[in-house]
């Protein structure tokens, strides 16, 4: 028997302190329609590729509708959200006999109007396809799981890894669950436990031994017999919304009771390790640069995670740049910043000339101020790169018009878009080879552990101000439900 399965992706990770996300931000990373989707995402490390891998071996007519992904940023504005959701629902309604839907969401999408944008999207999809059609969803490990998400989706499968290298595998897990339902081989029952816990994002890593890896391995040991799939959701910490917190989602065959019991065992293990999960070691930027310059060989990667562009921050902090200029390094230091107005000024002046201007803090003035710099304009290009790291391997990233500025031994890449810096291809896009640098500054919590894993001689996490700081206890949340760890550290929680 043949089936008709629609596939889609609508992904954005919101940081509620960051400037609004618009349709341009989706276009700048990717926004594809219909048959274009397989061509551009079918062979890269994406959930969509995992959907195709499974579905193409089955007797299925695949209907690709939309695939879009914005770099993390502020709440999605209403017009953009309405456009994307309407495009999806209108095209779903045109399918004569739809049997199932596979959709890649982030799970932490907030809009101007909806604190749980992913649920709102699923609710509108349900209005069109009805309650009987199975919908299998993938989500990012940093998704914020809510009751309505679990009610609206038939199955939810999250990434297990961080940095996220299992995008395709997660897509394949979701597609296998959907095919199992369509072929009546399984009857998935999904339950979740919400944990009143938020921990620093730099600790959600499974690349190295540590507490997250321990709780992940413990959870995955439960996938056997009737437990079909399970996911931990460590959540994006920078969502000032009521339901913020970790979650465990378990899908069992035929049995809600078994799913719920397993979720409780896993959640209890995580709760017991909450203190260890929260421990981070951050260095002041000046101290870290000096330490890195003293190492025999480089590159040493320093992470300005509080300005992390994959965590919604605008990438416009000059804090580390200021520290580097004060040190006047004798070896090469690569630094990035996003400042479209500075790039325009550099374009007007021209390559080879000197630019003296303020830079940075276009959006982040609650956390840091612009910095006056003077340097030589090496080049101005419309830069882009293709990911070489496993996470997002093969996808393209647009940096926009980009100026390369030299301030003695500091090579400053100034982009117009808040591009992700996790991959050495970012610096290569403007002709810089990270192997020639002693210090490379990136703006990410975990992604650099993938991008620089065979390159970096060491990593330091920096204690800097910004919208995606790991010092979550001191960020100005107003709306989150209490009590919650770490704010109410002595709280008792019974599942």
Give the binding site for Zn ion (CB under 5 A): 140, 142
Nearer to Zn ion, 142 or 274 (CB): 142
Nearer to Zn ion, 305 or 355 (CB): 305
Q: What secondary structure letter does DSSP report for 141?
A: T
435 exposure class (CB count in 10 Å sphere: 0-12, 13-18, 19+)? exposed
Q: Which residue, among 142, 132, 99, 117, has the nearest Cα to 7 in the 3D structure?
A: 99
Nearer to Zn ion, 142 or 149 (CB): 142
Q: Nearest approach, Cβ of 57 to Zn ion (angstroms)? A: 28
Contact 230, 219 (CB under 8 A): yes
Rounded CA-CA distance 360/339 in Å is: 6
Q: Nearest approach, Cβ of 160 to Zn ion (angstroms)? A: 11
Tokens (6 digits) for 158? 């999250």
First to last CA, the chain: 43
Nearer to Zn ion, 13 or 243 (CB): 13
Q: Nearest approach, Cβ of 405 to Zn ion (angstroms)? A: 31
Nearer to Zn ion, 236 or 402 (CB): 236
Tokens (6 digits) for 36? 């274009």
Q: Which residue, among 438, 410, 465, has the nearest Cα to 291 in the 3D structure?
A: 438
Q: Which residue is nearest to Zn ion (CB)?
A: 142
Rg (CA), the chain: 22
Rounded CA-CA distance 402/342 in Å is: 10
Q: Nearest approach, Cβ of 311 to Zn ion (angstroms)? A: 8
Nearer to Zn ion, 138 or 417 (CB): 138
Contact 103, 135 (CB under 8 A): yes
Rounded CA-CA distance 34/65 in Å is: 5
Rounded CA-CA distance 207/403 in Å is: 33
Tokens (6 digits) for 234? 């460590």
Q: Nearest approach, Cβ of 189 to Zn ion (angstroms)? A: 26
Q: Nearest approach, Cβ of 13 to Zn ion (angstroms)? A: 6
Q: Which residue, among 415, 204, 437, 385, has the nearest Cα to 311 in the 3D structure?
A: 204
List CB contacts of 261: < 8 A, sequence separation 6 or more.
none
Q: Nearest approach, Cβ of 59 to Zn ion (angstroms)? A: 34
Rounded CA-CA distance 49/168 in Å is: 6
List CB contacts of 307: < 8 A, sequence separation 6 or more.
313, 314, 315, 316, 317, 319, 364, 443, 464, 466, 467, 468
Which helix (H) or strand (E) segment holds residue 228: the answer is strand 227-233
Nearer to Zn ion, 140 or 166 (CB): 140
Contact 192, 107 (CB under 8 A): no
Q: Nearest approach, Cβ of 314 to Zn ion (angstroms)? A: 18
Rounded CA-CA distance 209/348 in Å is: 49
Nearer to Zn ion, 120 or 140 (CB): 140
Q: Nearest approach, Cβ of 164 to Zn ion (angstroms)? A: 6
Q: Nearest approach, Cβ of 337 to Zn ion (angstroms)? A: 23
Nearer to Zn ion, 140 or 423 (CB): 140
Nearer to Zn ion, 166 or 339 (CB): 166
Nearer to Zn ion, 142 or 173 (CB): 142
- Pairing mode, strands 410-415 and 333-338: parallel
Contact 172, 245 (CB under 8 A): no
Nearer to Zn ion, 159 or 452 (CB): 159
Q: Nearest approach, Cβ of 232 to Zn ion (angstroms)? A: 12
Q: Nearest approach, Cβ of 343 to Zn ion (angstroms)? A: 28
The b/e string for 422-432 (b: 16+ C-beta within 10 A; e otherwise) is: bbbbbbebbeb
């Amino acid at each position: 028997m043949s089936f008709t399965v629609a596939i889609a992706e609508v992904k954005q990770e919101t940081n509620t302190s960051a400037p609004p996300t618009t349709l341009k931000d989706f276009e700048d990373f990717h926004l594809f329609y219909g048959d274009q989707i397989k061509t551009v995402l079918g062979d890269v490390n994406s959930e969509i590729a995992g959907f195709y891998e499974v579905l193409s071996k089955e007797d299925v007519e695949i209907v690709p509708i939309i695939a879009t992904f914005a770099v993390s940023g502020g709440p999605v504005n209403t017009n953009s959200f309405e456009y994307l959701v309407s495009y999806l629902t209108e095209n779903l309604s045109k399918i004569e006999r739809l049997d199932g839907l596979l959709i890649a969401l982030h799970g932490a999408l907030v809009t101007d109007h909806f604190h749980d944008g992913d649920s709102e999207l699923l609710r509108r999809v349900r209005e069109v396809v009805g309650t009987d059609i199975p919908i299998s969803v993938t989500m990012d490990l940093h998704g914020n799981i809510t009751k309505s998400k679990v009610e609206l989706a038939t199955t939810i499968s999250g990434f297990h890894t961080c940095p996220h290298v299992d995008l395709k595998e997660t897509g394949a897990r979701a597609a296998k669950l959907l095919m199992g339902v369509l072929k009546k081989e399984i009857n998935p029952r999904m339950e979740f436990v919400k944990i009143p816990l938020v921990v620093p994002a730099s600790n959600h890593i499974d690349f190295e031994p540590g507490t997250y890896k321990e709780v992940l391995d413990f959870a995955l040991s439960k996938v056997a017999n009737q437990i079909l799939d399970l996911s931990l959701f460590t959540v994006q910490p920078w969502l000032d919304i009521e339901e913020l917190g970790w979650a465990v989602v378990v899908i069992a065959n035929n049995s809600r009771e078994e799913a719920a019991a397993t979720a409780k065992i896993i959640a209890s293990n995580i709760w017991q390790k909450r203190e260890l999960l929260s421990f981070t070691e951050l260095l002041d930027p000046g101290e870290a640069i000096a330490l890195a310059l003293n190492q025999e060989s480089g590159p040493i990667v320093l992470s300005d995670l509080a300005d992390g562009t994959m965590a919604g921050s605008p990438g416009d902090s000059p804090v580390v740049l200021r520290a580097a200029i004060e040190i006047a390094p004798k070896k090469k230091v690569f630094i990035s910043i996003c400042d479209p107005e500075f790039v325009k000024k550099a374009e007007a002046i021209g390559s080879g000339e000197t630019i003296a201007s303020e830079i940075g803090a276009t959006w982040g003035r609650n956390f840091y101020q612009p910095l006056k710099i003077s340097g030589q304009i090496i080049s101005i290009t419309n830069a882009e790169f293709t990911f070489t790291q496993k996470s997002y391997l093969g996808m393209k990233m647009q940096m926009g018009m980009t100026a390369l500025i030299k301030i003695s031994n500091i090579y400053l890449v100034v982009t117009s878009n808040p591009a992700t810096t996790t991959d050495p291809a970012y610096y290569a896009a403007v002709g810089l080879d990270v192997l020639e640098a002693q210090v490379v500054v990136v703006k990410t919590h975990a992604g650099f552990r993938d991008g620089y894993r065979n390159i970096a001689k060491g990593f330091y996490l920096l204690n800097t101000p910004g919208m995606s700081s790991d010092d979550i206890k001191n960020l100005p949340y107003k709306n989150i439900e209490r009590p919650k760890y770490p704010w109410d550290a002595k709280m008792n929680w019974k599942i």
